[in-house]
Every structure is written in C-alpha cells, then in structure tokens.
C-alpha cells in the first residue's frame, strides 16, 4: 500500500494548478464544523477574540494598543489580510505575530509573546477578526520581499523529511483526496489563527505548519523564524484574492 502510494507520488511531479478555482479549507469541512465557524456565538475562537478586545484597550503596560491605533474596527480593517509584510527597521519580512511583538517591544516596552501564548493568540485573533471578508492581499509586488517569496516558493516544492514529501505533492496534486480519514485541503491560510478541534484550542499558522513538518518527519522550523515567515509569505501570495475568514474553525 505504501509502495503504491509512493510510486503514485513520484509519477506526478509539480504541476501548475493556476487554472483551477482555489478552495478554502472551509469547503473541505463537515457541515457541522462549518456551522461552528459561521456562528460566532458557538465558535470557541471567540473566547480568544473577547480576551483580545480587552487586551487591545488594556493600559496596564502604560500604552494600550488603542492608544496609537484607536478603534480596531477601523484601524485594523484589512490589516491581517496584508501580512506578511516588510519591516523597514528590521530589514526583513514579518508576519502579524512578529508585528505584534515588535509593537510591544518598540512602543510598549513589553517582552515579546510566544507564538502559542494565549495573549498572542487573543490579540492576533482580535486583529484577524477585523479582516473578515477582505481579500487576502500580501504586498507581493514589494521588491524587498522577492528574496523571501522565492525562498518560500522553493520550500513549498522541495521534498523534505524522512518521507521525502513536499507541500506541493499533497496540497497541489492530491488536494481533495483523503489521507486516512481526513480530507487533504489545498493549504490556503485563509482563517488563521484558527480554533482547531484536534488541538482543543486556538493556534497559529506556524503551529499548523509544524504539524505538517512532523507528519513528513522533517526538521521543525521555529515560529516567527525567517524561514517560517518566508513559507507563510509564499502561502499568502498563493492565496491572494481569496477572502480572509477571520479567526475560523478547522477540524
């Protein structure tokens, strides 16, 4: 069975899929899980969003996020859909989590948060909520991002790990099929941070990607590392134009 699977994978190599309509992971979910995402009163990620709204206005650090950015409903509209983006001072691309940490360090004199800290996921999901329905539009035309984008693209199509599988082999060529009992989605990061039923918690895109790295028995990349952000950038560009689903639910 495994031999057949591997032969199958080798036979179909990287094929461009640009002419196919893209499908969000939402479309691969069961009706019950879709209902959970559609209804904010049932969606457990709203626990983090509510906490994020509180933190947005929290002045205990001296400066609240709202002190500079004001009402998130206006100032953060569409922001999550535009990341990863270039940071001038750092001279590198940053994702939304890294941006939140840079804001904390530069303007609030607060220590950075970890990728899966509840405080980070709360702020990130609150900011992501303001981008619901906004088309994903990373600044792909920014020439300073070209190197990272190229690197991310290479990572996406490079075979990695003991199973020697690339992202593209599952998420381009076998998308819509099944791995065990689970649907293989196209791998568009449209709804992060997500509440994942399997985790029983909210989690970041980095956590999800690390799950895939572990699945193919490859070396883990650190969240917010330059490689991880390069891959996230490529995925965002690949999903450009698809609507951002705000903090969503995934099985």
Partner 1 sequence: MSARTLIDMPRRVRRGEAFEIRAMIGHPMETGYRRGADGDRLPRDILTEFGCVFDGEPVFSAKLYPAISANPFLSFSMTADRSGELVFRWRGDRGFSHTERVNLVVE
Among 42, 57, 109, 220, binds partner 1 (CB under 8 A): 42
Helix (H, G, I), strand (E, B) or coil at 181: coil
Closer CB to partner 1, 45 or 233, in the complex: 45
What is the nearest approach in angstroms of partner 1 to the Cβ of residue 251? Answer: 13
Cα separation, 145 vs 170, whole angstroms:
26
- Shorter beta-carbon distance to partner 1: residue 48 or 83: 48
CB < 8 Å & 24+ apart, contacts of 52-58:
52/122, 52/123, 52/124, 52/125, 52/126, 52/127, 53/126, 55/119, 55/122, 55/123, 55/126, 56/123, 56/126
- CA pseudo-torsion sign 123, 147, 230, 81: positive
Task: By CB under 8 A, name the one of 201, 226, 243, 251 that touches partner 1.
Answer: 201
DSSP conformational letter for 250: E
Shortest separation between residue 9's beta carbon and partner 1, angstroms: 32
Out of 25, 51, 76, 173, the only residue in the binding site for partner 1 (CB under 8 A) is 51
- Cβ neighbours of residue 19 closer than 8 Å, sequence gap 6 or more: none
Closest CA to 122 of 225, 247, 11: 247
- Residue 40 CB, shortest distance to partner 1, in Å, is 9
Range 205-234, binding partner 1 (CB under 8 A): none
Q: Measure CA 68 to chain center.
A: 25
249 scored as a contact of partner 1 (CB under 8 A): no
Of 50 and 178, the one with the shorter C-beta distance to partner 1 is 50
Q: Does 60 bind partner 1 (CB under 8 A)?
A: no
* Minimum CB distance to partner 1, residue 24 (Å): 24
Residues interacting with partner 1, by CB under 8 A? 41-42, 44, 46-48, 50-51, 200-201
């Amino acid at each position: 069975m495994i031999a057949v699977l591997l032969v199958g994978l080798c036979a179909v190599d990287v094929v461009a899929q640009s002419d196919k309509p893209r499908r969000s992971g939402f479309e691969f979910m069961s009706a019950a899980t879709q209902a959970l995402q559609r209804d904010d009163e049932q969606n457990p990620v709203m626990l983090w969003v509510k906490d994020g709204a509180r933190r947005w206005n929290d002045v205990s650090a001296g400066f609240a996020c709202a002190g500079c950015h004001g009402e998130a409903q206006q100032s953060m509209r569409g922001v999550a859909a535009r990341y990863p983006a270039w940071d001038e001072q750092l001279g590198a691309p940053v994702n939304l989590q890294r941006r939140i940490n840079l804001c904390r360090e530069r303007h609030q004199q607060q220590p950075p948060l970890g990728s899966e800290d509840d405080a980070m996921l709360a702020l990130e999901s609150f900011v992501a909520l303001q981008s619901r329905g906004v088309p994903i539009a990373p600044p792909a035309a920014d020439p300073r991002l070209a190197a990272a984008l190229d690197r991310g693209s290479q990572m996406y199509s490079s075979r990695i790990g003991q199973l020697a599988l690339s992202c593209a082999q599952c998420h381009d060529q076998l998308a819509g099929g099944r791995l065990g009992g689970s649907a293989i989605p196209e791998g568009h990061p449209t709804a992060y941070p997500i509440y994942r039923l399997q985790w029983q918690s909210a989690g970041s895109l980095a956590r999800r990607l690390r799950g895939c790295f572990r699945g193919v028995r490859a070396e883990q990349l650190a969240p917010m590392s330059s490689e991880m952000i390069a891959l996230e950038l490529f995925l965002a560009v690949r999903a450009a134009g698809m609507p951002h689903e705000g903090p969503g639910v995934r099985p």
